[in-house]
Amino acid sequence: MSSEAPTTPIPPAQEAPDGALSRVLRVFTQPSAVFTELAASPTWLPPLVLILLLSVGMQLVVGPRLDMEGTIRQSLAERSSGPKMTDEQLDRAVEFGGKIAGVMRWLTPLAVPVMFLMLGGIYFLGLKATGSSAEFKPVFATVLHANVPAAVGSTVVMAAAVLKHASFTAQELEGMVKSNLGAFLPDSVPKPLAALAGIVDIFNIWQWVLLALGLSIVGKVSRGKAIAVIVVIWGVWALGKMGLAFLR
């Protein structure tokens, strides 16, 4: 007869939470684990709702403070050629600009999901071009989660800067937060170069790093291939912005 005390069973270790809401929070601290979970069980609604709320909130903060007349006057002053507007035409332009700004606040809830669906599709096709077998839903979920930290950070910083001002023009708003190289360039720099420098933003870099990590995990491709997809997509975006700046 054994005199040993009975062994108390050891409870199994608790697994890390993998709920949809938990992933939105843990993408700040455990991005690799979150992307691994998304590859097996993709969730997209919580990050999309959060990004949507941040976008709408930013519109509500900026909208009442945006000086539409000053914005239009400054835009006209920057033109090197073209007919001058009369005071009556300027008043109409300001009234029209105010209506457009109001409409944009209501269109934001529709524009954000559409934009991310397009982004998800572009990254999905980019991964397919590298030979990935990833499906669309995990890629879409990865793109959303990779954008959450940068979206939260940029919104908080921008809102803090905006609330310090009673009124400002759209041009002043662009340089209010000096998070990109373009904010440090002089006004004499050519517009296409300024547009390119504006893309090199600390929040964009944060997003790129998470995207490279997430796409490599979800797409089951090398980190180099994931980075190549990001470079190509953002390179095309940069060329587009430079082209628009040149046309202006």
Closest CA to 51 of 203, 233, 239: 203
Give the percent of the chain with pLDDT over 90. Answer: 52
Phi, psi of 222 (to 5 degrees): -70, 155
Q: Please state the pTM of the whole predicted model.
A: 0.83
Q: Give 168 or 15, the one with higher predicted confidence.
A: 168
pLDDT confidence band for 16 (50 / 70 / 90): very low
> Could you tell me the two tokens for 65?
């403070």
Instruction: Determine the average pLDDT of the residues in 73-82.
Output: 65
Q: How far is CA 240 from CA 17, 213, 230, 231, in A?
A: 41, 26, 15, 14
Indicate the pLDDT class of residue 100, thresholds 50, 70 and 90: confident
- Residue 13 corresponds to which tokens in the numbers above? 């270790």
What is residue 8's predicted lDDT score, i.e. its pLDDT?
Answer: 41
Highest mean pLDDT among 82-86, 129-133, 238-242: 129-133
Kind plus residue range of the DSSP H or E element containing 149: helix 136-162
Beta bridge pairs of residue 66? 168
Whether residue 248 has pLDDT greater than 90: no
In this prediction, residue 66 carries a pLDDT of 83
Give Cβ neighbours of residue 31 (< 8 Å, ≥ 6 apart): 145, 146, 210, 213, 214
CA–CA dist 37, 51 (Å, integer): 20
For residue 194, is pLDDT > 90? no
Tell me the average pLDDT across 203-218: 97
Taking a C-beta distance cutoff of 8 angstroms, is the pair 245, 192 a contact? yes
User: Which carries the bigger pLDDT value, residue 84 or residue 125?
Assistant: 125
Question: 173 or 145: whose pLDDT is higher?
Answer: 145
- Computed over every residue of the chain, the mean pLDDT equals 85
Q: Which helix (H) or strand (E) holds 216?
A: helix 202-219
